[in-house]
Chains A and B, each alone.
Chain A
Amino acid sequence: MEKKPSIAADTELRPSAAPFFRDPAKRAIIFQVVALLLVALVSYYLYANTQANLERQSIATGFGFLDKEASFEIGESVIEYSAADSYAKALLAGALNTIKVSFVGVVLTLFLGTFVGIARLSSNWLVAKLAAGYIEVMQNIPVLLQLFFWYAIFYESFPSPRQALNPVGGVFLCNRGLIFGVPEAHAAHGMMLWAFVAALAIGWGLHRWGASRQARTGQIFPAAWVTLGFCIMLPLLVWVFAGAPTAMDIPELRGFNFVGGVTVSPEFSALLLGLVFYTAAFVAEIVRAGIQSVGRGQVEAAMAVGLRPGQVLHLVILPQALRVIIPPLTSQMLNLTKNSSLAIAIGYADFVAVTNTTINQTGQAIEGVALIMIVYLFFSLSTSLFMNVYNKKTAMVER
C-alpha cells in the first residue's frame, strides 16, 4: 500500500518506458533489418547451393572465360571485331549492336508515334481513321510475327546481289540489304562534325538571347530558322575550305557481294522496322491521351488571344501534355530495348545472340544469363534515370 505512490512517481519520471517492440519507429527498423537478413540468407543459400552443385558435377565456374579467344564471327559490328578477339570483346560488340538498334529505334518511334498520335486527333476524317486503323493493327499483332514478316519481305522479295535494284547511282537494294556509297574518309569530316557542334552551341545561345529579348521588348526572334542555317552553313564552309573533297566510296559487285560503301543489313532493318512500327502504336496512344488531358478550354483560350495553331501546340498543349506523356513513354522505350532481344529469331547479332553463342561454346550458362540480366538492367536503369531527370524538368510545379 505504501509503495504504490512511489511506482506512480517512477512511471511519471520515465514516460517513454514502453518496451521497444511497442514503439512503431523502432519496430519498423527491426522489421526492415529482419527482412534484409532474410533476403541475404536466401541469396547466400542460393549462391552456395549452386556453387556446391556445380562443383559436385565438376562444371567450370567464374568469369575467367571472358579473356579467352572467342573464335566465332559476328555478322555486323559497330567496333572492329574478328574471331581472334576475346569473348569480352565479342560481348561488347553484341551490347553495342543492341544499343545501336535500340537508340535508332527509340528516336524513330518517338517521331512516328507522335505523328500518328496527333493524326489520330486530326479533324480530317480519313487521316484520323487511318491512324486509328494503324494503331489497332500494330498493337494487336505479336511483335515476333511482325519481325518475321519484315524479314521475309527482305529475303523473299528483293533480288540477289547480281540483279540488285539500283534506283540512284551508288545505291543498291538487294536481299543482302541496302548498300550505298559514302564519302571516302577525309580529315575534313572530323572538322565538319565539330563545326556542326559549334553551330548547335550558337543556336542555343541565340535561343536564350531571343527569349530574353522577347521578354523585354516583345519582338520575336526566329531562333530555330537561324540555327538551322548555321547547322548547314558552318560545316559546308569547313568543307569548302578543306578543299571540297568529293571522292566517294561507291560499292561495287565483286564475287558474291558488294564491296565498299555502307551496308544496312536485312536483319538490322527488319528488327528496326518491326520494333518501331509496333512500339509507335503504343506511343501514339500515349501522345493522344496526353494531348486530350489538356482541357479544351485552354486551347480555345489560347486561340482567342491570337496564338497560331503551331504556337498553341508548342506553348500551351505540349508543356502540359508532356507531364502525362513522359512516364508511360519511358516504359515504352524500355519495352523497345527489351524486345530487341527477339533479334535472335531473325539473325541480328544482338547481345543475347552473342551471349547464347558464348554459353554454347563455354558451357557457362549461369554466368552468361547473369551477364544478360546485368546488361539489360543497366540499359533499363540508365534509360529510366535519364527519363526521370527529364520528367522532373518538365513536370509542372504544383500550386
Chain B
Amino acid sequence: MKLSRLTVLVMILSLLAAGIAFAGKDLDAVQKKGFIQAGVNGGVFGFGMPDEKGVWKGLDVDTARAIAVAIFGDASKVKFTPLTAQQRFTALQSGEIDVLTRNATRTLSRDTQLGLNFVTVNYYDGQGFLVPNKLGIKSAKELGGATVCVLPGTTTEQNAADFFRSNNLDWKPVVIESTTELAKTFFAGRCDVLTSDASQLAGTRAVAPNPKDYSILPEIISKEPLAPAVRHGDDQFRDIVDFAVLAMINAEEMGITSKNVDEKLKSTDPMVQRFLGVVAGNGAALGLDEKWAYNIIKQVGNYGEVFERNVGVNTTLGIERGLNALWTNGGLMYSPPFK
C-alpha cells in the first residue's frame, strides 16, 4: 500500500518536473526539430530573395538568421519558405512556418483577428507612388483621374483607396497578382502610376528599362511598420524573436559590430558586459545560452550592418536610413535596456 502511494507521488512529481522543463509549444517544437522554419518573401530584392547561387539574401532573411542564432547559436539552423502576400498569414497560423519575416505590416486587425503577435519593427516603410518623368507630375495630389497599378494582397489597395478618397480624386486601379507582370504592365504604360511600399518602388525602379525615367513622388501616404510575427500562444518564443531583433538595434546603439565584438568582450562597461553575456543573466531570463546576443552580432551583424549590406545606399536599391536610422540620428530605431 505504502509502496503504491510512493509510486503515485513520484509519478506526480516527475510529471510536475516535466511540466517545468517543458518550454512553450512553439519553442519546444523548434528545439525538437533542430532548426527554425521562416516564412520570407521569395522575390523582393534586398528583403528576401535567393541570389544566383541559391543563397538567401535580404534584411528579412538576416532577421530570421538572427533568431536562429539566438536559439541554436548557429546562423545556418534556419530554413526558408518563400510565401506570397496571400499565403503568409495562413502559413503562420497553420504552423507550416515558425516565424514570419516577410515585410508584413503590423496592424491592429492582423495582431488580433489573425491570431498573430508582431514584435519589434525591423523596417519602417511607407506607401508611395512611382511615376514616369514624362508625365511632369511633382505631387501625388495631381493624380486625379489617373490609372494606378496596384499589387493585391497587402494593405496597399486600401491605402490607395483611402488616399484618393480623402483627397476627392478619381482613379482607376489595375490589380495584378504577380509583381513582375505588374511591373511589366506599368513600364509599358498601361497605368500612369505604380503604388507600393517605397522600398519596393526602389526595387521596381532598379529593374526598369531605364531607371532614370522614373521618380518616386515625395508623398508617403501610409505608415508601414514591417515587423516579424509569431503565433499567439507561446510568450517565451515571442520574447526570443522580439529580443533577437532588438539585440541588433542595441548593438548598433552601443557601437558593437561583427568586426569589433570580440574586442568588446573585454569592455569594462557593465551595460556591454551584460549585453554580450560576460555578466550572466539575460540569457537565463530568455531561456537561452548566455552568449546569444554575442553570437547574433558575431554571425549576422548589428542592425546598421544588416541594413547597409542589403538595402543601403551602396546597394542597387540605394535606400537612405531615414526613419530606420537610430533614434540618436533622427530615426525611430530604439532599443529598451538589456538588463
Task: Please list the residues of chain A having a beta carbon within 8 angstroms of any beta carbon in chain B.
Answer: 56-60, 71-76, 82-84, 148, 151-152, 154-156, 160, 175-176, 254-257, 259, 266-267, 344-347, 349, 353, 356-357, 359-363, 365
Interface contact A363-B113, CB-CB below 8 Å:
yes
Is B138 positioned at the interface, with any CB of A under 8 Å from its CB? no
In the complex, the 3 A-B pairs of residues with the closest C-beta atoms, listed nearest first = A57-B115, A83-B161, A155-B190
Interface contact B114-A155, CB-CB below 8 Å:
no
A83 CB → nearest B CB, Å:
4
Kindly identify which residue among B90, B157, B160, B174 contacts A365, using a CB–CB cutoff of 8 Å.
B90
Interface contact A345-B145, CB-CB below 8 Å:
no
Interface contact B152-A357, CB-CB below 8 Å:
yes
Is B270 positioned at the interface, with any CB of A under 8 Å from its CB? no
A145 CB → nearest B CB, Å:
13
Residue among B93, B152, B181 with max Cβ neighbours from chain A (10 Å): B152
Interface contact B176-A356, CB-CB below 8 Å:
no
Interface contact B154-A363, CB-CB below 8 Å:
no
Residue of B nearest to A151 (CB): B185
Interface contact B161-A353, CB-CB below 8 Å:
no
Interface size class of B (residues with CB under 8 A): 35 or more
B127 CB → nearest A CB, Å:
13
Kindly identify which residue among A58, A71, A349 contacts B175, using a CB–CB cutoff of 8 Å.
A349
Return chain A residues, CB-CB under 8 Å to B110. 363
Interface contact B86-A360, CB-CB below 8 Å:
yes
- The B contact surface, by secondary structure, is mixed
Interface contact B231-A345, CB-CB below 8 Å:
no
Per the bound structure, the CA–CA distance linking A362 and B152 in Å amounts to: 13
Contacts A73-B160, A73-B161, A359-B86 given; indicate if A347 touches B145 (C-beta within 8 A): no
Interface contact B233-A75, CB-CB below 8 Å:
no
Interface contact A75-B145, CB-CB below 8 Å:
no
Q: How many A-B residue pairs have CB under 8 A?
A: 113
Residue among A72, A75, A266 with max Cβ neighbours from chain B (10 Å): A72
Interface contact A73-B152, CB-CB below 8 Å:
no
Kindly identify which residue among B147, B173, B174 contacts A256, using a CB–CB cutoff of 8 Å.
B147
Interface contact A363-B192, CB-CB below 8 Å:
no
A369 CB → nearest B CB, Å:
10
Return chain B residues, CB-CB under 8 Å to A75. 172-175
Is B232 positioned at the interface, with any CB of A under 8 Å from its CB? yes
Interface contact A59-B114, CB-CB below 8 Å:
yes
Per the bound structure, the CA–CA distance linking A330 and B172 in Å amounts to: 35
Residue of A nearest to B188 (CB): A155
Interface contact A175-B232, CB-CB below 8 Å:
no
Some 25 contacts from A to B, beta carbons below 8 A apart, are A56-B233, A57-B233, A58-B232, A59-B113, A59-B114, A82-B165, A83-B165, A155-B188, A156-B188, A176-B147, A176-B190, A254-B145, A256-B192, A257-B145, A257-B172, A346-B176, A347-B175, A353-B175, A356-B152, A356-B177, A359-B86, A360-B86, A361-B157, A363-B110, A363-B113
Kindly identify which residue among B93, B112, B114, B189 contacts A160, using a CB–CB cutoff of 8 Å.
B189
Interface contact A175-B189, CB-CB below 8 Å:
yes
Instruction: Apart from A59-B114, A363-B89, list 20 A-B contacts with CB within 8 A.
Output: A57-B231, A58-B115, A58-B232, A59-B115, A72-B158, A83-B161, A83-B165, A156-B188, A160-B189, A256-B145, A257-B172, A345-B176, A345-B181, A346-B176, A347-B175, A349-B175, A356-B153, A356-B177, A357-B152, A360-B86
Kindly identify which residue among B109, B165, B188 contacts A175, using a CB–CB cutoff of 8 Å.
B188
